[in-house]
Chain A
């Protein structure tokens, strides 16, 4: 039952983009007589300026995250936290991913790949990891780029709120996987 729903959803997913790309101009052209080609070009012009405007913010955040990752600081943090986590029933194997998820998309995908290769896709670690990966976003990247694109410097409570949500999401991933799958 669940399997067929997931399959159906991911099957539908293939068609979403092509349907949007054709459907929106179709509606505009036939119902509202919008000059779709001319309007498209006007909108598309902004793509360049926005993409260029976010470069300094991207460099700042990705360099800092890259240095942090390369130093091995995450592994040290992991060693310190492992006993506490095991006590609360949080598998230490999933901690690197939980810590990496808000920092780096490619980094956390790499860690998920490691979990699958090492323990198998059918293992609890891989399933918890995939759930964490799918249920969260790269918080720091999004905050830096979104605020950067409009020049906002004081992010106020955006980071604490985002990290709190990631924290709750990681715990929820462990909880629901253990409850429903094992």
Chain B
């Protein structure tokens, strides 16, 4: 999927760019964005370090498992393949809370940590698990209770009017995301390949 979308965007960019006479702008965009990507990543280093450090303290003190335990009934339903007391559950909960509070800066490090922990449970490191896709779908449609600071700055006094519509719209999209993931994960196209049947003797030696 990513292969086609990635190549498709570049192909459309070049073909349309030739027709609209903006081919130079397309070239410039490619070069600029390559630069910007590295600037973003470098800028992330400090923020990542800060939040991962604080997160480690929260982990050592048992705060994370405390929060995760409170939300266990919901979490085991959304992520049936992840053991209820696995550290990934804690990171996922923290990432979602950071998103809800509008802490975009903190959400990314916590989310990447969650992905790392989900990857530990993944038998096929190159292919996404059901839990990963569910996590990303909820993440990208994130329920937010605090309007982004940029929106408040732009809209000024009107921002309070869009508070309720925003919460309703984001709830709809999160529900849609969960339903879509649950529906699609069973489709043939997206199904995980069944684990290859191994010789019983191999199974014994694995233990």
List chain A positions with a Cβ less than 8 A from chain B. 2-3, 5-7, 9-10, 12-13, 16-17, 20-21, 24-25, 27-28, 31-32, 34, 36, 39-48, 50-52, 54-55, 58-73, 76, 102, 109, 112-113, 116, 121-122, 126-127, 130-140, 142-147, 149-162, 164-169, 172-173, 175-177, 180-181
| Centre residue among B42, B44, B56, B189 by max chain A CB count within 10 A | B56
- The 8 A CB mask of B10-22 against A (1 = contact, 0 = none) is 1011111100101
Complex contacts, A181 vs chain B, CB 8 Å? 161-162, 165
Residue from the set B20, B57, B101, B154 with the largest chain A CB neighbour count within 10 Å? B57
The segment from B32-40, B77-85, B199-207 found at the interface with A is B32-40
B158 touches A122 (CB 8 A): yes
Main secondary structure of the interface of A (DSSP, over half): helix
A156 touches B160 (CB 8 A): no
CB closest residue in chain A, given B46: A47
Which B residue's beta carbon lies closest to that of A150?
B119
A130 CB to closest chain B CB (Å) equals 5
Which residues in A have their C-beta under 8 angstroms from that of B29? Answer: 63, 66-67, 69-70
Q: Which residues of B contact A172 (CB under 8 A)?
A: 168-169, 172-173
* Beta-carbon contacts under 8 Å, B91-138 to A: 101-103, 106, 108-109, 111-113, 115-116, 118-119, 122, 125-128, 132-133, 136-137
- Give A153 to B6 CA distance when docked, in angstroms: 13
Q: Is B155 an interface residue (CB 8 A)?
A: yes
**Pairwise interchain contact A153-B16, C-beta atoms closer than 8 A:** no
B30 in complex: contacting residue of A7, A51, A58, A67, CB < 8 Å: A67
Closest A residue to B156 using CB positions: A121
Interface size on B, residues (CB 8 A): 115
Q: Which residues of B contact A (CB under 8 A)?
A: 1-2, 5-7, 9-10, 12-17, 20, 22-23, 25-26, 28-30, 32-34, 36-38, 40-42, 44-63, 101-103, 106, 108-109, 111-113, 115-116, 118-119, 122, 125-128, 132-133, 136-137, 139-142, 144-152, 154-170, 172-174, 176-177, 180-181, 184-185, 187, 189-190, 192
Q: Report Cα–Cα, A35/B119, bound state, in Å.
A: 29
Which residues of chain A are near B157, meaning CB under 8 Å? 121
Please indicate the chain B residues that have their CB under 8 angstroms from the CB of A134 in the complex: 144, 147-148, 151, 162, 166, 170
Closest B residue, CB atoms, query A147: B128
Known: A71-B14, A177-B162. A130 touches B37 (CB 8 A): no
